[in-house]
Chains A and B, each alone.
Chain A
Amino acid sequence: MKSFDYRRPATIDEARRAAEAPGAAIKAGGIDLLDLMKEGVARPDVLVNLLALREPWWRAVGATDDGVRVGALVTLAELADAPAVPAMLRAAAGAIGTPAVRNVATVGGNLLQRPRCWYLRERDHVCFKKGGRECFARFGEQRAHAIFDVQPCPAPNASSLAPVLLALDARAFTDRRTLPMERLYLRPHEGPGGARDHVLSPGEILTAVEIPAGALGRAGAYREARDRAAIDFPLVSAAVSLQLVDGKVADARIGLGGVAPIPRRAEEAEEELRGKAVTPELAGRAARAAFARATPLPLGDNAYKATLGEALLRRAVMEAAAGLAAPR
């Protein structure tokens, strides 16, 4: 690992100043960043550790006038046990990594981790995301890669929380602005080169996410598929949030993970559901619509994600519709 200067700011102002230094990287739990540093992929000159911050609300889950706010330094273990947040968010948090990882990993770190791609995470393949011009996965090893928006880089966003927060219509707060979840991430072709995965400026710090009050009473479900039963990232995940009125879907928001470079809204499926009573047939139609326009990579080794995603989404829709009476 390359040597670096180490900062442990106590206040948000100190943190911002430290993080604006050239070559600075922000560390919370460090689960993703330290891995990248050990591999020689991330080589910061300055490491800004947020864990010394004296800002208690960064570590808290609590009600606000507008909903429930989750501080960026809340650990995944705390989130998985927080009764104030919807069950689908707790379920997603509780399925990440291992207990040891969840005790350290934070909500902010989960949202801002780099995408999962073995070329990106290996030092010697200088791919699009690392400033190169090539995508090695496009005609290479691609079983876990995206099936939507695959140009120029199909590395999927790896956050388990993001699709759920997207379905919950959450907002992200930084030290300087508020963003809807949908505008937090950058598609690879939108960024300056491929180096950035999100819209935050250098030195800008994610401080919290907030689930609006309106989303708390909605019916929800989360499903994911992965290789191992633990210690793995979802190959595909589906988060469904339904507003049911008189047995019909008044509104639907669906987030998909593992299928695109950024967490994906399944708008076609939402449209299919709106105004109708959920039946197995409707859930199937919606799920098909969500994946109808998938564009797996040319070799097709990731095409299974469409059928797998369809099955998961259909179940999540049925479960959300059935689980309305369940406590959130």
Chain B
Amino acid sequence: MTKTKTKVGFRGFTKPIDVEVPAGDPAPWDADARLRVVGARAARREARAKVAAAARFAADRAGAALFARVLVAPFAPVVVTALDARVVARAPGVRAVHAFKKIGDEISFAGDPILAVAADTDEQAEEALLLAAAAIKYERRQPATTINDTRRPDAPQVLPDGARRRGQREGDAVAARTAVEEAPAFLEAIYETWPQAAGWAEPQAAHATPGGAIAPVEVTARGTGGGDAAAAAAALARIAGKPVLARLSRAADLALGGGRPASLHHLRAGIAKDGAIAGLVVEGWVSAGTVEVAGPAAPPLYDLGKYAREERHPATHAPPATPASGPGTLHGVFALESFLDECAHAVGVDPLALRRKLCKDELCLAEWELGARLIGWDRRARDPGAGSGVRKRGLGMASTWGGGLGQPGAEVVLVADAARGVRLSIGAPDAGVGLPTQLAAIVAEELGLAPEAIEFDAGVPRQPVELPDHRLALASFGPAARQAAYVLGGRLREAAARRWGVMVDEVRLDGGRVAARGQSLAFGEACALLGGDATVTGRSSAPYAAFHGKTRGCQFAEVEVDIETGELRVIKIVAVQDAGRVVNPTLAETQLAGQVMEGLSRALFEQRVIDRHTGGHLSGDLLSYRIAGPMDAPEIVAIPFDVANAGNSVGVLGLGDAAVLPTAAAIGNAIFNATGIRMRTLPMARDRLARAVAVARRAGPRPS
């Protein structure tokens, strides 16, 4: 560890701090750093290949000897009563069959893999699956698919042996309850979110080759993730003794790809005379199939007085929710940020003014000010539903927190080569943040090269596939890349210094050359000096003590609602999001805009539908599982808020995670401002909106 002075902050607010930098890491780029490549705009390297359909994904892999498909359970819960793999094995072209389940196994969710088949052609594998589907028999039982199902006295048991999830508690429940009860004003509301899937654009696929006893199976999942496809491919490759390409169907991918849990949250607040919140009690239910997903932790932004949360995590017969962007907190942010809007309305203050009262964080305040200016917050009508006509406009906002510094152990390998220049590789697929472009910029910055001089390869076999967490991809791989480049640069300097008889400190890496005291070598020539020592592995360190270890952000929405039909148009969304250091403004903006689209999609459309009687998965295609399309896109103003952070050597934070979370509450709050109708259920789909405007119309104008 080396103690280093550094300057952190953002435009209009900086301060010096000391950080402990682990051995091997360079000193962080700070608020005064003058960088050449990092922070400059550049187009995404693979953009052209992606839009021209030339990009190759795992599913496109040619040269597989065998093609595999995976049969999943159609209903749940079921017990397998007949499963004859021999019928399938005799089907034309079939070379291997692997059963994930056996007779007597109980299956708790539709979509759970039962059997995988490898055949000479993809079509033969598909036909064999149809045979398999006909040959497998189940005994069906009554499912508990929703949180409400699990609360019935006769609720079916989900976990084996009567086990129950413990759930979570935080805060002093007695103190919080007392504060709520003794406050002069009281407000409560219940928010509900339905489960959502987290599939990839391309359904999971993986390629496996059989090996000897030492290296049993090599699995490649280049381009997309592939846990379940990889398991099938690996098992079948071992049986068949040939390479296997396994692909999941869209329906299986939508069930197995993880997703957001279902939730119910009951919030009760005691409000003091001055509008401050004296206490907040959150009672919640969060359900993620048979796995457990943590609920929302205490929101770090606000002073909520005495805070307590008690949450149950009932298991259901639904596909598991697994970490996706903000798995634990989408519902938490939706509930809290909607509830703050309700509190503000109840005490007659502007919702942004209430937040300013509850939060003094300088970064939040700066982001709010910018967001409010860009949406034109001063246009916001004080009274909800104030506009005339049937199409009413309104403004709403919500804040977010989360994301943060990367995780330790992410690996980047740099190979410097006299002939081919510098090649950079990681073992994980690029989850979409543009790692090739961004990591190349970091390496180029450190080595004095043009970013185009750096080659990139993601998802290289035999490097660890374990991605720390794809939400933090750049925050983890970025510092690893800088460390590798820093070490490589150090070796180049030493080699040049030895050759020229100068001090190492005198050697500069700049403009594609290595130079000192009037002597210089082209970068490639300098690499030749390293001999066999030209491969460096960089590993991300644990985060340093940072200025802000968690991101903050906010979104402001303008909507138009037709109060007769419930038609909703989101007109504009302004997103201001702390990203730590912005490595590439173009990519950061497009990523942030993408997160806003995901947030809008989850706010308005996405819902995983499980039949309440059969437990069957009904939203297994992209017409039933609706994702927002281009025609649903509002004008998006995406502002990655550049903050010198010093939490790692690059100062970069995860941008994607937190920016998905506030969109739903911002839209819901804007709907309230436009119409006086409060949407407390996600997704705010058309049927719910149509029902809500009909109910409001029957109720007539509300007494003010």
A304 touches B605 (CB 8 A): no
Q: Mark B116-127, 1 if CB is under 8 A from A, else 0.
A: 000000010011
A307 touches B690 (CB 8 A): yes
B605 touches A227 (CB 8 A): yes
Tell me, yes or no, whether B612 is within 8 Å of chain A by CB.
yes
From B609, B628, B685, B694, A118 is in contact (CB under 8 Å) with B609
Tell me, yes or no, whether A196 is within 8 Å of chain B by CB.
no
Q: Mark A29-42, 1 if CB is under 8 A from B, else 0.
A: 00000010001100
CA distance A8 to B623 in the complex (A): 29
Task: Return B99 CB to nearest CB of chain A, in Å.
Answer: 19
B687 touches A304 (CB 8 A): yes
Q: Which of A53-61, A77-85, A134-142, A175-183 contacts B (4 or more CB under 8 A)?
A: A134-142
With A123-B74, A230-B629: A118-B690 Cβ-Cβ less than 8 Å: no
CA distance A46 to B315 in the complex (A): 46
A39 touches B631 (CB 8 A): no
CA distance A125 to B612 in the complex (A): 13
Q: Which of B449-457, B483-491, B561-569, B580-588 contacts A (4 or more CB under 8 A)?
A: B561-569
SS class, residues of chain A in contact with chain B = loop
A228 touches B694 (CB 8 A): no
From A118, A140, A232, B612 is in contact (CB under 8 Å) with A140
Tell me, yes or no, whether A226 is within 8 Å of chain B by CB.
yes
Tell me, yes or no, whether A1 is within 8 Å of chain B by CB.
yes
Return chain A residues, CB-CB under 8 Å to B342: none
A40 touches B130 (CB 8 A): yes
From B612, B617, B631, B686, A235 is in contact (CB under 8 Å) with B686
Tell me, yes or no, whether B75 is within 8 Å of chain A by CB.
yes
Residue of A at shortest CB range from B611? A140
From B564, B618, B687, A119 is in contact (CB under 8 Å) with B618
From B619, B620, B685, A227 is in contact (CB under 8 Å) with B685
CB contact list, A283-325 vs B, under 8 A: 301-305, 307-308, 311-312, 315
Return chain A residues, CB-CB under 8 Å to B621: 35, 39, 121
Return chain B residues, CB-CB under 8 Å to A230: 629-632
Tell me, yes or no, whether A198 is within 8 Å of chain B by CB.
no
A136 touches B687 (CB 8 A): no
Q: Mark B462-506, 1 if CB is under 8 A from A, else 0.
A: 000000000000000000000000000000000000000000000
B614 touches A125 (CB 8 A): yes
With A118-B619, A228-B605: A301-B632 Cβ-Cβ less than 8 Å: no
CA distance A121 to B126 in the complex (A): 18
Q: Mark A11-40, 1 if CB is under 8 A from B, else 0.
A: 000000000000000000000000100011
CA distance A311 to B628 in the complex (A): 25
Tell me, yes or no, whether A225 is within 8 Å of chain B by CB.
yes
Tell me, yes or no, whether A143 is within 8 Å of chain B by CB.
yes
Task: Return B691 CB to nearest CB of chain A, in Å.
Answer: 4
Return chain B residues, CB-CB under 8 Å to A232: 623, 626
CA distance A140 to B615 in the complex (A): 10
CB contact list, B629-650 vs A, under 8 A: 629-632
Return chain A residues, CB-CB under 8 Å to B694: 304, 307-308
Return chain A residues, CB-CB under 8 Å to B628: 228
Q: Mark A220-238, 1 if CB is under 8 A from B, else 0.
A: 0000011111111101000
Return chain A residues, CB-CB under 8 Å to B618: 118-119, 122, 141
A124 touches B690 (CB 8 A): no
Return chain B residues, CB-CB under 8 Å to A143: 685, 687
Tell me, yes or no, whether A3 is within 8 Å of chain B by CB.
yes
From A124, A233, A235, B687 is in contact (CB under 8 Å) with A235
A312 touches B629 (CB 8 A): no
A141 touches B609 (CB 8 A): yes
Q: Mark B251-279, 1 if CB is under 8 A from A, else 0.
A: 10000000000000000000000000000
Return chain B residues, CB-CB under 8 Å to A233: 623
A136 touches B614 (CB 8 A): yes
Task: Return A280 CB to nearest CB of chain B, in Å.
Answer: 12
Tell me, yes or no, whether B48 is within 8 Å of chain A by CB.
no
Q: Mark B680-700, 1 if CB is under 8 A from A, else 0.
A: 000001110011001000000
With A118-B618, A225-B686, A304-B694: A3-B123 Cβ-Cβ less than 8 Å: yes
CA distance A312 to B127 in the complex (A): 45
With A136-B611, A311-B564: A228-B690 Cβ-Cβ less than 8 Å: no
B619 touches A311 (CB 8 A): no
Return chain A residues, CB-CB under 8 Å to B133: 40, 123-124
From B75, B127, B565, B691, A225 is in contact (CB under 8 Å) with B565
B631 touches A141 (CB 8 A): no
Residue of B at shortest CB range from A230? B631
Task: Return A4 CB to nearest CB of chain B, in Å.
Answer: 11
Return chain B residues, CB-CB under 8 Å to A98: 629
Residue of B at shortest CB range from A307? B694
Q: Mark B92-136, 1 if CB is under 8 A from A, else 0.
A: 000000000000000000000000000000010011001001000
Return chain B residues, CB-CB under 8 Å to A125: 74, 611, 614, 616
B690 touches A2 (CB 8 A): no
Task: Return A208 CB to nearest CB of chain B, in Å.
Answer: 28
Task: Return B609 CB to nearest CB of chain A, in Å.
Answer: 5
Q: Mark B543-578, 1 if CB is under 8 A from A, else 0.
A: 000000000000000000000111100000000000
CA distance A107 to B634 in the complex (A): 32
Return chain B residues, CB-CB under 8 Å to A302: 687
CA distance A233 to B626 in the complex (A): 11
B629 touches A228 (CB 8 A): yes
Task: Return A105 CB to nearest CB of chain B, in Å.
Answer: 14
Q: Which residues of A contact B (CB under 8 A)?
A: 1-3, 35, 39-40, 98, 118-119, 121-125, 136, 139-141, 143-144, 225-233, 235, 301-305, 307-308, 311-312, 315
Additional A-B contacts beyond A119-B611, A141-B611, A230-B632 (14; CB < 8 A):
A2-B127, A39-B621, A40-B130, A121-B621, A122-B620, A124-B616, A140-B613, A141-B612, A141-B618, A225-B565, A225-B690, A303-B691, A307-B691, A308-B566
A-B CB proximity, top 8 nearest:
A124-B74, A229-B631, A230-B631, A307-B694, A118-B618, A311-B564, A304-B690, A308-B690
Chain A to chain B contacts (Cβ below 8 Å), 11 pairs: A121-B621, A122-B617, A140-B613, A141-B611, A141-B618, A227-B685, A230-B631, A230-B632, A302-B687, A304-B687, A305-B690
